[in-house]
C-alpha cells in the first residue's frame, strides 16, 4: 500500500514539511477539505528542477532557492487526488483531499481484528477437511467470518484501488482489492445460488497482506529521539557576571557579550573566547578528539564541552541557535527529513503485473463465455480463479518476512539493522568512511614506546603524573602499574600549563614534558633521532629529565582497535574503498591509516564540515559512514547508510541506520554480508511469489482443461496460500545461511 502521510492539525491549520532532494519526501500527503493548509518545502538539492514549486490546480508557482524553505498556503476544496511538482514537472508528488477525518483504526488494530475473525475461518476449513462440518455450516460460517474482515481490512485497499483507478493507475492494492472483491461478491452470489463459495480466499488474502504490512510498519517505525538527546547535552545554567557579581542564570537568558565563569568539572554554557585563566577542556563529545585541549587567553571554547582543570572566564560569542551544538541539532533535523525511503520493488513490478492480470481475468471469462460457449457460471469460475491465483499474498510477505528474519539474525551477531532502507542502500555502497577516534581506535592514549631505562623512566614519570587527571598522565600511570613499578613520593609538585609537570623526587628535580619545557636542555643525538622518528609516527612524545640530565623519552598514541586491521582488509577485499574522516591532524590520521590499510584520509575536519565532506564523496557513489561520537551525528544522518558503534553516544546510535551492538569493527563486514544475503533472499522470495502466478495463471484460465488439468477457485486459493508458506520458509532459511 502506498504510504500517505497526513498533515498535522495545529491551531486550525494543516501543517506538513516536504524535503526536495532526489524526489519529494514525503511524496504523497493527505489534506482535509476546507481547512487552511501550510506546506513547507525545503530545497536541498542544487538541481534546477526544484527552483520552482508548482500547484497547478491552485494557481500557485513559487520560486525557491537552494537550502531555502518556502511555505505554500491554500485551502483545499476539491476532494480526490491532486498533483504538485517542480516547475518543470520532472519530479511530482500527490496530495489527496478528504473530508474532515474521523478517528480511524490503526494498522495494528485492523490486523488484530482481522486475526480474530481469521481464526474461525481456519477452524471451519479444518472442520471441512476432517468432515466434521457440513457444507451449509461452512458456507454461512465463512460468510459471517469474512464479512467483518472485508469491512475492516478490505476497506482501505478498495479505497486506494479506486483512487488509483480514477487516476488511470494500478498498484498492488488494485490486485488485493480486485481479488478479494471478486472472491467475496462471487461467493455472495454462489451462497444463494447453491454453488461452491470462496469467502475464505478473500479472508486469507487480507490476513496475509495485513501481516506483511504490520511487519513493514514494525521495521519502519524508528521514531528518532536524536534531537532531544542532543539538546539534553546542553548546560542548563551559566554563571554570568551581573552587577559586579557572578550569579547562576538559565541558559536561555545568556546574551552575546556576557562574561561567564566556569569551574573545573562544569560544562561550557555557550561558544565564546577565553579572557582569563588557563585550563584543559574535554571536547571529545563535539570534535571526537580524545585528548583534552589546552586553553588560555584568546582561545575559543565550545558550548556543552567539559572544563577539566582550571577556572576560566570567557566572553559569550554565540548563543542559542548560533552555537556549534545547536547547528549540529539543526543539521540532524534536516538530514533525517531528507532521507529517501526505500524503493518498493513490488510497486514497480505491479505497474505492469496488475493491469496484465486484470486483462487476463476478463479475457479468460470472455473466451470461455463468448468464444467457447460455456455457461456463465463456468466462465466466471475460470475468470475468478485467475484473479485469485494472482493475488499477491506471497508478494506482500516477500520483503517484510525476509527483513524480520534477517534483522533478527543480524542482531544475534551484534548487528542491529534499524530499517529496511539500509538493506537496499548497502547493496549500492562503494565507499566505507570511518571516523577515527573511538571508532578505528580505542579512544584513549597508551604508552607505546619507552626510550631509556624503562623501569626507571616509567617509575619517575608515573610518580609525577599520579596526581594528574590528564589522559596522558593516566596512560603513563596505567603502564607503570601494569609492569608492577613502585611509585615515589613527590614534593614541590607543580603543573606547568602547556609544558608539563615538575617535582622533587628523592631530593632531585624531575621534569616531564614537551620540548617547550626542556627548551634549554641539550638533547643527545641518539635521543633526537628517536624523537624525530616517533613524531613521524604521529606519536605524542614527552621528555624526562633528572637534575637537568635527559633520562628518557615516552611515546603515547591512541592505538587502533585489535580487530580494525582485519575489518579494513576484508572490506578492501570486497572491492570497497575505505576512507578515514577525522578532526585530528593529518600526521596522526595518516599514521593510523597506514597501520590499518585505509586507502584515503581526510583530516582536520571540523564537526560541522563532516557532513559536507560526506556530500562531496557521495558525488562519486553511495557510501556508508561509521562513527561513534556526537560530532558524527550529522554525517551518520546524511550518509546513504549510517553505521554507529554500540559503545558510542546515544545521539550517534539514534542517527544511524545500523548499530554495532558490540565494539567489534568486524560487525561492519557482517552488516554488509548479512544485508546482501537478506536482500538476495527478498529477490528469491519475489521469484517464488511470481512463479506460482506464471505457472498457475494459465492452468487457472483453463488453458490445459483439455488435458484434465483444471484449477478451480478453491484450488487457486490453496495454491495462493502455499505460495505464502513457501515464502515464509524461504525467509526462515536465512537463519541457517552461512555468514563470514
List the Cα angle 30/36/40 in 5-degree steps: 65
On whether the CB atoms of residues 644 and 658 are closer than 8 A, the answer is yes
- What's the CA gap between 704 and 699, in Å, rounded? 6
Pairing of strands 429-434, 622-627: parallel
Best CA proximity match to 555, nearest among 537, 542, 538: 542
Residue 562 backbone dihedrals phi, psi, to 5 degrees: -60, -30
- What's the CA gap between 714 and 147, in Å, rounded? 18
List the Cα angle 354/360/365 in 5-degree steps: 135
Strand order in the sheet with 52-55: 5-6, 28-32, 92-98, 80-86, 52-55, 60-63
Best CA proximity match to 252, nearest among 264, 240, 242: 240
Residues 6+ apart with CB under 8 A from 698: 704
On whether the CB atoms of residues 468 and 675 are closer than 8 A, the answer is no
Strand order in the sheet with 293-295: 293-295, 279-282, 306-307
Buried b vs exposed e over 199-220: b needs ≥16 C-beta within 10 Å? bbbbbbbbbbbbbbbbbbeebb
Pairing of strands 279-282, 306-307: antiparallel
Q: With residue 37 as reference, give the H or E element that holds it.
A: strand 37-43
What is the DSSP code string of 176-245?
Answer: HHHHHHHHHHHHHHHHHHT----HHHHHHHHHHHHHHHHHHHHHH-----HHHHHHHTS-SEEEEEETTE
**How far lies 265's CA from each of 110, 196, 237, 262, 534, in Å?**
53, 80, 14, 8, 33
Give Dmax (Cα) for the chain.
118
**How far lies 285's CA from each of 234, 247, 270, 700, in Å?**
11, 27, 14, 64
On whether the CB atoms of residues 207 and 114 are closer than 8 A, the answer is yes
Tell me if residue 435 is catalytic.
yes
Report residue 101 as a C-alpha cell. 477525518
- SS3 call for 46: coil
Among the listed residues 435, 558, 584, 657, the single catalytic one is 435
On whether the CB atoms of residues 171 and 227 are closer than 8 A, the answer is no
- What's the CA gap between 525 and 517, in Å, rounded? 18
Buried b vs exposed e over 349-368: b needs ≥16 C-beta within 10 Å? bbeebbeebbebbeebbebb
Pairing of strands 259-262, 279-282: unpaired
On whether the CB atoms of residues 172 and 350 are closer than 8 A, the answer is yes
Residues designated as active site = 435
Amino acid at each position: 500500500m502506498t504510504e500517505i502521510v497526513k498533515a498535522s492539525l495545529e491551531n486550525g491549520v494543516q501543517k506538513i514539511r516536504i524535503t526536495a532532494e532526489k524526489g519529494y519526501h514525503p511524496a504523497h500527503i493527505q489534506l482535509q477539505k476546507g481547512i487552511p493548509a501550510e506546506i513547507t518545502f525545503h530545497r536541498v538539492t542544487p538541481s534546477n528542477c526544484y527552483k520552482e514549486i508548482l500547484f497547478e490546480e491552485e494557481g500557485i508557482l513559487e520560486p525557491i532557492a537552494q537550502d531555502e524553505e518556502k511555505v505554500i498556503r491554500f485551502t483545499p476544496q476539491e476532494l480526490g487526488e491532486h498533483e504538485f511538482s517542480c516547475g518543470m514537472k520532472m519530479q511530482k508528488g500527490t496530495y489527496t483531499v478528504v473530508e474532515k477525518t474521523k478517528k480511524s483504526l490503526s494498522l495494528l488494530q485492523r490486523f488484530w481484528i482481522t486475526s480474530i475473525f481469521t481464526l474461525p475461518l481456519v477452524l471451519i476449513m479444518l472442520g471441512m477437511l476432517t468432515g466434521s462440518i457440513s457444507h451449509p455450516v461452512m458456507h454461512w460460517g465463512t460468510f459471517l467470518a469474512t464479512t467483518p474482515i472485508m469491512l475492516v481490512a478490505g476497506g482501505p485497499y478498495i479505497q486506494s484501488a479506486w483512487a488509483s483507478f480514477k487516476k488511470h493507475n494500478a498498484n498492488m492494492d488494485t490486485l488485493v482489492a480486485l481479488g478479494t472483491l471478486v472472491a467475496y461478491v462471487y461467493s455472495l452470489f454462489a451462497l444463494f445460488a447453491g454453488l461452491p463459495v470462496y469467502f475464505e480466499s478473500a479472508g486469507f488474502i487480507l490476513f496475509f497482506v495485513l501481516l506483511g504490512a504490520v511487519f513493514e510498519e514494525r521495521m519502519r517505525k524508528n521514531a528518532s529521539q536524536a534531537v532531544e538527546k542532543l539538546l539534553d547535552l546542553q548546560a542548563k545554567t551559566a554563571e554570568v557576571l551581573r552587577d559586579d557579581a557572578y550569579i547562576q542564570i538559565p541558559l536561555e537568558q545568556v546574551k552575546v557579550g556576557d562574561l561567564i565563569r566556569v569551574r573545573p568539572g562544569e560544562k561550557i554554557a555557550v561558544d565564546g573566547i577565553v579572557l582569563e585563566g588557563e585550563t584543559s577542556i574535554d571536547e571529545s563529545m563535539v570534535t571526537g578528539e580524545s585528548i583534552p585541549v589546552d586553553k588560555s587567553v584568546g582561545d575559543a571554547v565550545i558550548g556543552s564541552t567539559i572544563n577539566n582543570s582550571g577556572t576560566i572566564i570567557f566572553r559569550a560569542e554565540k548563543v542559542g541557535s548560533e552555537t556549534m551544538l545547536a547547528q549540529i541539532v539543526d543539521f540532524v533535523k534536516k538530514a533525517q527529513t531528507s532521507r529517501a525511503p526505500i524503493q518498493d520493488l513490488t510497486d514497480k513490478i505491479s505497474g505492469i503485473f496488475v493491469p496484465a492480470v486484470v486483462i487476463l481475468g476478463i479475457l479468460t471469462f470472455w473466451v470461455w463465455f463468448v468464444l467457447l460457449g460455456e455457461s456463465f457460471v463456468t466462465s466466471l469460475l475460470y475468470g475468478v480463479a485467475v484473479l485469485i491465483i494472482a493475488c499477491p499474498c506471497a508478494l506482500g510477505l516477500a520483503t517484510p518476512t525476509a527483513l524480520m528474519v534477517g534483522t533478527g539474525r543480524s542482531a544475534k551477531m551484534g548487528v542491529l539493522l534499524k530499517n529496511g532502507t539500509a538493506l537496499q542502500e548497502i547493496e549500492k555502497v562503494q565507499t566505507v568512511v570511518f571516523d577515527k577516534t573511538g571508532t578505528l581506535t580505542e579512544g584513549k592514549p597508551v604508552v607505546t614506546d619507552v626510550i631509556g631505562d624503562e623501569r626507571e623512566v616509567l617509575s619517575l614519570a608515573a610518580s609525577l603524573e599520579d596526581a594528574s587527571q590528564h589522559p596522558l598522565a593516566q596512560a603513563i600511570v596505567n603502564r607503570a602499574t601494569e609492569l608492577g613499578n613502585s611509585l615515589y613520593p613527590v614534593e614541590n609538585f607543580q603543573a606547568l600549563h602547556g609544558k608539563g609537570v615538575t617535582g622533587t623526587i628523592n631530593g632531585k628535580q624531575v621534569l616531564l614534558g614537551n620540548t617547550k619545557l626542556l627548551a634549554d636542555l641539550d638533547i643527545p643525538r641518539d635521543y633526537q633521532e628517536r624523537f624525530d622518528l616517533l613524531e613521524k609516527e604521529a606519536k605524542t612524545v614527552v621528555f624526562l629529565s633528572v637534575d637537568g640530565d635527559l633520562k628518557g623519552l615516552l611515546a603515547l598514541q591512541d592505538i587502533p582497535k585489535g580487530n580494525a586491521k582485519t575489518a579494513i582488509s576484508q572490506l578492501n577485499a570486497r572491492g570497497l574503498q575505505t576512507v578515514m574522516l577525522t578532526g585530528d591532524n593529518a600526521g596522526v590520521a595518516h599514521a593510523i591509516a597506514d597501520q590499518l590499510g585505509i586507502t584515503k584520509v581526510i583530516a582536520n575536519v571540523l564537526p560541522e564540515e563532516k557532513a559536507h565532506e560526506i556530500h562531496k564523496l557521495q558525488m562519486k557513489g553511495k557510501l556508508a559512514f561509521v562513527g561513534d561520537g556526537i560530532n558524527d551525528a550529522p554525517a551518520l544522518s546524511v550518509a546513504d547508510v549510517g553505521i554507529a558503534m554500540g559503545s558510542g553516544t546515544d545521539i550517534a546510535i539514534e542517527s544511524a541506520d545500523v548499530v554495532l551492538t558490540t565494539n567489534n569493527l568486524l560487525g561492519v563486514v557482517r552488516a554488509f554480508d548479512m544485508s546482501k544475503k537478506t536482500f538476495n533472499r527478498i529477490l528469491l522470495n519475489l521469484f517464488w511469489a511470481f512463479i506460482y502466478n506464471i505457472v498457475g495463471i494459465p492452468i487457472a484460465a483453463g488453458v490445459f482443461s483439455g488435458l484434465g488439468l483444471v484449477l478451480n477457485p478453491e484450488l487457486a486459493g490453496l495454491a495462493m496460500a502455499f505460495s505464502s508458506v513457501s515464502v515464509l520458509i524461504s525467509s526462515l532459511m536465512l537463519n541457517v545461511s552461512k555468514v563470514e
